[in-house]
Amino acid sequence: MSTQKTSTCVAIYSNSYAWQELIVPPLQHIVGVAPEKDILDLFALARKVGTVTLADNPADQTSTISWGSYIRLAQLQTPGTPFFPSLNRLRIDHAGGSLDELNLLVTNSLRVLEVVNIDDSQYPAFIVFLCSLAGECPRLRSITLSSRPIDWLEACLEFSHLRELKLDGILHELDLDMLVAIGKGFPELETFILNAEYDSCISTPQLNTDEACEVSGVPVPLGSQDEIQEPSASTTNVPPETASPSDDRAPQDGAKSPPASPVKKTPEPTFRQLKKLHIVGCLQLIQDVLSLCSGLEDVSLTLVRLGESTDSEIARTEIFASIIERIFDWNKCLARMFIGQNWQIEVPELGPAILPSRAVQKLFLHSTLQHLEIANWALDAFATYLSCLAPRPPFHFNSMLTTLHLPVGSISPGISLSDLRHLAISCPHLSSLRSTILLDLNNLPEYKIGRAADVALHHKLETLSVGSANGPAWNWMQYCTAARHLFALFPAVKIQPQMGPGRNPVRWMTIRDTLQMYQTVSLDNKARRRAYGLDL
């Protein structure tokens, strides 16, 4: 077991008269009769410990204390007083025999509990510990579980005041009913992180290409419960008594009506306070969780689709795009969104699927979205997305995006240099852009030496993370033209060339250096005018 507070605290533990540090292994032991003053000093230090890591073989063994020493200290401790009364974070990692120390760590100050890599034989001990915490830790706000059985999660449902739940490596038992129970059990939950990357989801629909546009269960839009649409008659079973005369299922000639098939009712939304929702999993899991969300505000949403079946990849991509399109209806609540996929699971040689442009266009037009990041998806040419931002008199849409991060490299055609001005005008608040940029000088405005640029903007873009495909060699004037175009649009931008194949970092380093020369000359000019009292 290791404790962490400050380096001073650890040093005092090691140098105290009551402790002796052994060389192999480096454990802390109580040797002989400890003076009362040293024991009191030790407990005073224990009251300052805020973080404890419980492990059989901790990485930081400089502050490791032997189990026998804890038994001895427990005998000296005042009854009813927690050994670490200020403990707020407990991490249990690869702990086997160390779990015997758990009861010493029960304190009502605990706020964060992280449990990873626990041996199966220790399940009963940990369940007992969870039950103890439920009654004695009213301040517990965050629980992280990694690859744990479902009964651990059920025990956690006793913490009705929980604000953050992280599940890493979800097991097969986590179905829609369990998700409903989580929502009801944690009514104040603000952060919900689900990582099902290491397990397949249950009840995954088997789809084919023809079913792509007929899938039910697409998540309902966020908003009030009154906005949730009931399933249409085409997606529900119609009881015989309400069937039309032409319905083949209607009774004929007085025949007895067959029993009606039960209609599975969609659960009411249970997640109403979420601020951060992170889902890595199959389509079914993504749809199930989103269908339980309602009435949210200022949400940060992450959706990472896992590969499931190469036979229905087109259908699954269409379903995922439909999910994103419906997210457009999360009006006035979505602030941040990350979209990804783990395409390497199934067919790495085929590369990532193309995210349909209609889904990306919807996000570009979202009225409150400020941060959009897309990774591991191939995209269409960027001009396709910019078309949705084209001015339509008398209205002109200005995006609220401050961060736009798109794939860089061969999987994304990227933005042309000439389209950057359109993007800058449509996204006036943009401060960080990551994208492939096509180094095509053909459509740029004519920049003449000795004349100011006619298309100059004062956009406040700060960071441009960029790459591009390799192309013909440039001469010095071509580098100057590209750098001047960027300077005319984004006078204070800093270029960050992306490394890796298909990103051409050397060319972008040259453009960066040339741009910095323009920026430096501009600073010199401002300093000169300031020195001579000229108007800036």
Q: Taken in order 481, 517, 466, 366, is the CA torsion positive or negative?
A: negative
Q: What are phi and psi of 184, to 5 degrees?
A: -75, -35
- What lies within 8 Å, CB to CB, of 115 at 6+ separation is 92, 126, 143, 144, 145, 146, 148, 152
- Say if residue 159's pLDDT is above 80: yes
Least confident of 146-160, 290-304, 481-495: 146-160
Q: From the CB of residue 123, how many other CB atoms can be counted at a distance below 10 Å?
A: 15
Least confident of 7-16, 29-38, 86-95, 382-391: 7-16
Least confident of 46-60, 286-300, 431-445: 46-60
CA–CA gap between residue 299 and residue 336 (Å, rounded)? 7
Q: Whose structure tokens read 């649409």?
A: 229
88 to 25, 109, 141, 156, 478: CA distances (angstroms): 28, 6, 10, 17, 59
- Say if residue 227's pLDDT is above 60: no
pLDDT on residue 3: 45
Going by DSSP bridges, is the β-strand pair 371-374/403-405 parallel, antiparallel, or unpaired?
parallel
CA–CA gap between residue 458 and residue 122 (Å, rounded)? 62
Q: Taken in order 325, 326, 330, 334, is the CA torsion positive or negative?
A: negative
Residues 228, 294 contacting (CB under 8 angstroms)? yes
Could you tell me what percent of the chain has a pLDDT over 70? Answer: 68
Q: Which token pair is 289?
A: 């969780």
Q: Which residue ranges make up each domain of the chain?
A: 404-535
pLDDT on residue 407: 87
Higher pLDDT, 313 or 418: 418
Cβ burial 11-36 (10 Å sphere, 16+ → b, else e):
eebeebebbeeeeeeebbebeeebee
Length in residues, the chain? 536
Name all contacts of 326-330 with Cβ < 8 Å and 24+ positions apart: 326/218, 326/219, 326/220, 326/221, 327/219, 327/221, 327/290, 327/301, 327/362, 327/363, 328/362, 328/363, 328/365, 328/366, 329/221, 329/222, 329/223, 330/221, 330/222, 330/223, 330/296, 330/299
Cβ burial 291-301 (10 Å sphere, 16+ → b, else e):
bbbbebeebbb
Nearest Cα to 51, choosing from 96, 92, 100? 92
CA–CA gap between residue 520 and residue 517 (Å, rounded)? 5
- Say if residue 200's pLDDT is above 70: no
Residue ranges of E strands in 130-177: 142-146, 164-168
Question: Which element (helix H / strand E) includes 2?
Answer: strand 2-4
pLDDT on residue 390: 59
What is the pLDDT averaged over residues 144-153?
73
- Say if residue 514's pLDDT is above 90: yes
Average pLDDT value for the chain:
74
Cα dihedral 423, 427, 429, 431 in deg (nearest 10): -40
Question: Which element (helix H / strand E) includes 153?
Answer: helix 150-156
**CA R_g for the chain:** 30
Could you tell me what percent of the chain has a pLDDT over 90? Answer: 24
Nearest Cα to 421, choosing from 393, 455, 397? 455
CA–CA gap between residue 268 and residue 232 (Å, rounded)? 17
Nearest Cα to 372, choosing from 340, 344, 342? 340
Cβ burial 231-260 (10 Å sphere, 16+ → b, else e):
eeeeeeebebeeeeeeeeeeeeeeeeeeee
Residues 358, 324 contacting (CB under 8 angstroms)? no
Q: Whose structure tokens read 């004519």?
A: 446
Cα dihedral 378, 166, 142, 185 in deg (nearest 10): 120
Confidence label for 258 from pLDDT (cuts 50, 70 and 90)? very low
- Say if residue 193's pLDDT is above 90: yes
52 CB burial (10 A radius; 0-12, 13-18, 19+) = buried
CA–CA gap between residue 90 and residue 94 (Å, rounded)? 13
Confidence label for 284 from pLDDT (cuts 50, 70 and 90)? confident
What is the pLDDT averaged over residues 144-167?
81
- Say if residue 451's pLDDT is above 50: yes
- Say if residue 466's pLDDT is above 60: yes
Model pTM? 0.77
Q: What are phi and psi of 516, to 5 degrees?
A: -65, -30
Residues 418, 451 contacting (CB under 8 angstroms)? no
Residues 10, 63 contacting (CB under 8 angstroms)? yes
pLDDT on residue 247: 42
What is the pLDDT averaged over residues 424-433?
93
pLDDT on residue 336: 95
CA–CA gap between residue 239 and residue 259 (Å, rounded)? 8
